[in-house]
């Protein structure tokens, strides 16, 4: 099915989500055309140009041996990151379920987390071009930043004010203030891109009402009388594309200077650096503007949340897979070998930066190691939200200070971390730090008077941290659990 017909059909069904190719910037906006979105089979296309890696980096050699192709990457690595086990992927709405090869292929060129439940969770570079508003009697079209509906109360017409009931539009550029308190027709316009890449504007909704203009024209309220509420609700149900969905003043789909900024895809064929999936693993996305490099922070917890973090060879496989995708090709062959021989990340693994998420084994300093081990292995459940697991946030601000407090559920009220005393540290006991060979979990929990389960409590049961990480945490506590001193595990 070609993409335009998909979109029009969806408009007919009063849902515009899915018309993802409403885009201005041809470089990043248009997904590789012709991927067979309807097909369940990932096995198309022929193998591309490919060369094995012949260098000596042990991580790359391991990646090449263990993860030779895209299918293995999907089934053994990606699937684990946000697998079919519901409840673990806290942020499932924000990025797609990648648990089948076909879903993984669909993520190539697909837009990122624009439908996340909370606007603040949207990364600027995931924002799309907003729909535009045309006002009767005014030339030009005004891009919508964000929209908010304040329902009317009673039949009284409220005095005009920026807080008044109505449908509130916030624009990138001001509309003429002469529309204030005038009866006008608004038309909502969306741009669609056909499969042959020709562009067409579609007016998908019309609304006639009294307008109120504030903030020099950047804020427009379309009056909503009680009898118009249903019309407005159905318009909102259709979904208005908002160019500044996270309301921070940055319109992510607009170029910054000469640099194309967004919207970035989940997986950008040929370019890991502008793939949202990669940015979510790093926690930032790199951007070069005016010759200076910026690291834009990506909201939300780092992937892969509660599940086992990617090892360095797994990262290399993912980066090389993405870099090896040819944006000009219509097809993706997951069974084809990953091109480690030409991959810039294999040739220079320092390019993976920010991804040594757990720090260096043998380091027992707080910032460089312990904090990172906790964030990477525990942060998926113990995030900084109000309903974080066990009331314990191991991500966000103030983690260190919290660890010195008493554990919430401990019947003996021990501190989570007792400086100098690993055996008296509830957190250390919870991670099985003193678990001896052959001892059952039940015996251990009983022997140390613990509440609940051993940590990390994965859906498949306790999956103990690796021995080096536990030894580093032990050494950190033993040495006084400082948040500033550097520390080397004996
Ligand atoms: C899959 C989700 C999950 C993961 C991953 C996880 N936890 Fe937990 N954690 C929980 C839940 C649920 C509780 C509350 C029930 C319990 O204690 O068993 C909890 C409780 C705790 C408590 C007790 C808090 C208190 O104040 O009483 C500690 C300490 C803890 N976890 C540490 C960790 C550490 C350290 C890690 C990583 C090594 C980790 N958890 C990983 C889900 C998780």
Report the domain count for the chain: 3
Q: Which domain holds residue 410?
A: 366-478
- What is d(CA 404, CA 418) in angstroms, rounded to the nearest whole number? 7
Is the pLDDT at 14 greater than 80? The verdict is no
Average pLDDT on 53-64 reads: 91
Distance 367 CA to ligand 1 centre (A): 21
Is residue 274 domain-resident? no
Instruction: Report the pLDDT value the prediction gives residue 48, as an integer from 0 to 100.
Output: 54
Instruction: Report the pLDDT value the prediction gives residue 218, as an integer from 0 to 100.
Output: 96
Do 131 and 225 fall within a single domain? Answer: yes
Q: What is the DSSP letter of 373?
A: H
Do 258 and 169 fall within a single domain? Answer: yes
Average pLDDT on 458-483 reads: 90
> Residue 26's pLDDT band (boundaries 50, 70, 90)?
very low
Do 89 and 206 fall within a single domain? Answer: no
Q: Which atom of ligand 1 is nearest to the CA of 450?
A: 17
Instruction: Report the pLDDT value the prediction gives residue 1, as an integer from 0 to 100.
Output: 29
Measure Cα distances from 138 to 7, 135, 152, 158, 184 in Å: 28, 6, 27, 26, 10
Residue nearest to atom 2 of ligand 1 (CA): 381
Instruction: Report the pLDDT value the prediction gives residue 355, as an integer from 0 to 100.
Output: 56
> Residue 351's pLDDT band (boundaries 50, 70, 90)?
confident
- What is d(CA 488, CA 63) in angstroms, rounded to the nearest whole number? 29
Q: Which atom of ligand 1 is nearest to the CA of 465?
A: 38
Q: Which residues of 22-50 are buried (b: 16+ CB within 10 A; e: fewer)?
A: bbeeeebbbbbbebeeeeeebeebeeeee
Q: Which atom of ligand 1 is nearest to the CA of 377?
A: 37
DSSP 138-174: --S-EEEEEEEEE---SSSPPPP-TTSSEEEEEESSP
Q: Which has the minimum average pLDDT: 103-112, 163-172, 305-314? A: 305-314
Q: Which atom of ligand 1 is nearest to the CA of 306?
A: 5
Do 145 and 247 fall within a single domain? Answer: yes
Is residue 377 domain-resident? yes
Distance 387 CA to ligand 1 centre (A): 13
pLDDT per residue as tens digits for the range 366-422 = 988 899 888 777 877 787 777 788 899 887 778 999 999 999 999 999 999 999 999
Distance 273 CA to ligand 1 centre (A): 33
**Pair of tokens at residue 1:** 């099915």
Average pLDDT, the chain: 80
> Residue 30's pLDDT band (boundaries 50, 70, 90)?
very low
Q: Which atom of ligand 1 is nearest to the CA of 454?
A: 18
Do 444 and 474 fall within a single domain? Answer: yes
Q: What is the DSSP letter of 37?
A: T
Q: Which has the minimum average pLDDT: 20-29, 199-208, 281-290, 356-365? A: 20-29
Distance 79 CA to ligand 1 centre (A): 23
Is residue 269 domain-resident? no
Average pLDDT on 100-116 reads: 77
> Residue 429's pLDDT band (boundaries 50, 70, 90)?
very high
Do 62 and 155 fall within a single domain? Answer: no
Is the pLDDT at 131 greater than 70? The verdict is yes
> Residue 37's pLDDT band (boundaries 50, 70, 90)?
very low
Instruction: Report the pLDDT value the prediction gives residue 243, as an integer from 0 to 100.
Output: 92
Instruction: Report the pLDDT value the prediction gives residue 450, as an integer from 0 to 100.
Output: 96
Do 140 and 216 fall within a single domain? Answer: yes
Is the pLDDT at 475 greater than 90? The verdict is yes
- What is d(CA 139, CA 456) in angstroms, rounded to the nearest whole number? 60
Do 244 and 122 fall within a single domain? Answer: yes
Instruction: Report the pLDDT value the prediction gives residue 44, as an integer from 0 to 100.
Output: 37
Q: Which of 302, 378, 414 to mutate to test the pocket of ligand 1 (most atoms within 8 A of CB)?
A: 378
Other residues' Cβ atoms within 10 Å of the Cβ of residue 21: 23
Do 191 and 220 fall within a single domain? Answer: yes
> Residue 71's pLDDT band (boundaries 50, 70, 90)?
very high
Q: Which of 263, 279, 309 is the last residue of a domain?
A: 263
Average pLDDT on 63-90 reads: 72
Average pLDDT on 236-258 reads: 87
Average pLDDT on 91-115 reads: 71
Do 201 and 321 fall within a single domain? Answer: no
Distance 278 CA to ligand 1 centre (A): 27
Is residue 402 domain-resident? yes
Do 5 and 39 fall within a single domain? Answer: no
Which range has the top average pLDDT, 3-7, 234-238, 380-384? 234-238
User: For residue 240, which of 352, 131, 114, 328 has the smallest C-alpha distance?
Assistant: 131
Do 137 and 219 fall within a single domain? Answer: yes
Instruction: Report the pLDDT value the prediction gives residue 36, as an integer from 0 to 100.
Output: 32
Is residue 242 domain-resident? yes
The dihedrals phi and psi of 72, each to the nearest 5 degrees, come to -65, -40
Contacts of 324 (CB under 8 A, 6+ apart): 48, 50, 270, 338, 339, 342, 343
Residue nearest to atom 17 of ligand 1 (CA): 452
Measure Cα distances from 56 to 50, 311, 323, 341, 443 in Å: 18, 18, 20, 12, 46
Which range has the top average pLDDT, 40-54, 306-320, 471-485? 471-485
Other residues' Cβ atoms within 10 Å of the Cβ of residue 463: 14
Distance 311 CA to ligand 1 centre (A): 22
Is residue 213 domain-resident? yes
DSSP 215-236: GGGTEEEE---GGGHHHHHHHH
Distance 466 CA to ligand 1 centre (A): 17
Ligand 1 neighbours by CB, cut-off 6 Å: 88, 306, 374, 377-378, 380-382, 389-392, 407-410, 416, 426-427, 430-431, 451-453, 455-458, 465
Distance 462 CA to ligand 1 centre (A): 11
- What is d(CA 425, CA 95) in angstroms, rounded to the nearest whole number? 36
Distance 409 CA to ligand 1 centre (A): 10
Is residue 224 domain-resident? yes
Is residue 485 domain-resident? no
């Amino acid at each position: 099915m070609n993409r335009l017909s998909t979109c029009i059909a969806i408009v007919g069904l009063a849902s515009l989500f899915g018309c993802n190719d409403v885009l201005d910037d041809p470089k990043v906006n248009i997904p590789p055309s012709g991927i067979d979105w309807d097909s369940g089979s990932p096995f198309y296309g022929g193998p591309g140009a490919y060369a094995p890696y012949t260098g000596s980096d042990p991580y790359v050699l391991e990646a090449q041996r263990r993860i030779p192709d895209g299918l293995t990457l999907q089934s053994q690595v990606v699937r684990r990151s946000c697998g079919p086990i519901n409840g673990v992927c806290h942020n499932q709405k924000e990025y797609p379920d990648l648990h089948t090869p076909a879903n993984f292929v669909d993520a190539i060129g697909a837009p990122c987390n624009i439908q996340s439940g909370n606007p603040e969770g949207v990364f600027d570079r995931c924002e799309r071009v907003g729909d535009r508003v045309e006002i009767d009697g005014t030339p030009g079209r005004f891009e919508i930043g964000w929209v908010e509906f304040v329902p009317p109360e009673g039949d009284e017409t409220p005095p005009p004010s920026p807080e008044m009931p109505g449908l509130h539009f916030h624009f990138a550029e001001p509309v003429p203030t002469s529309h204030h308190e005038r009866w006008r027709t608004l038309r909502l316009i969306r741009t669609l891109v056909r499969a042959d890449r020709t562009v067409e504007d579609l007016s998908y909704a019309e609304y006639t009402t009294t307008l109120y203009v504030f903030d020099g024209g950047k804020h427009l309220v379309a009056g909503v009388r009680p009898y118009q509420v249903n019309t407005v609700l159905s318009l909102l149900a259709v979904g208005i594309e908002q160019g500044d969905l996270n309301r921070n003043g940055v319109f992510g789909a607009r170029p910054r200077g000469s640099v194309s900024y967004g919207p970035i895809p989940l997986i950008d064929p040929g370019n890991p650096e502008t793939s949202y999936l990669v940015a979510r693993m790093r926690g930032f996305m790199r951007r070069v503007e005016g010759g200076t490099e910026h690291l834009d922070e990506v909201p939300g917890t780092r992937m892969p949340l509660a599940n086992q973090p990617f090892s360095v060879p797994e990262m290399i496989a993912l980066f090389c897979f993405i870099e090896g995708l040819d944006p000009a090709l219509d097809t993706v062959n997951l069974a084809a070998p990953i091109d480690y021989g030409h991959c810039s990340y294999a040739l220079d693994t320092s390019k993976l930066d920010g991804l040594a998420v757990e720090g260096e084994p043998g380091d027992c300093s707080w910032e460089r190691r312990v904090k990172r081990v906790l964030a990477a292995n525990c942060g998926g459940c113990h995030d900084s939200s109000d309903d974080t697991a066990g009331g314990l946030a191991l991500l966000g601000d103030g983690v260190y200070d919290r660890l010195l407090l008493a554990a919430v559920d401990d019947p003996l009220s021990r501190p989570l971390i007792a400086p100098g005393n690993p055996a008296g540290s509830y957190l250390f006991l919870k991670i099985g730090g003193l678990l001896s060979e052959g001892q059952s979990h039940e015996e251990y929990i009983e022997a140390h008077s613990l509440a609940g389960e051993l940590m990390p409590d994965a859906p498949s049961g306790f999956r103990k941290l690796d021995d080096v990480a536990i030894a580093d945490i032990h050494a950190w506590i033993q040495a006084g659990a400082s948040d500033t001193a550097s520390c080397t595990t004996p």
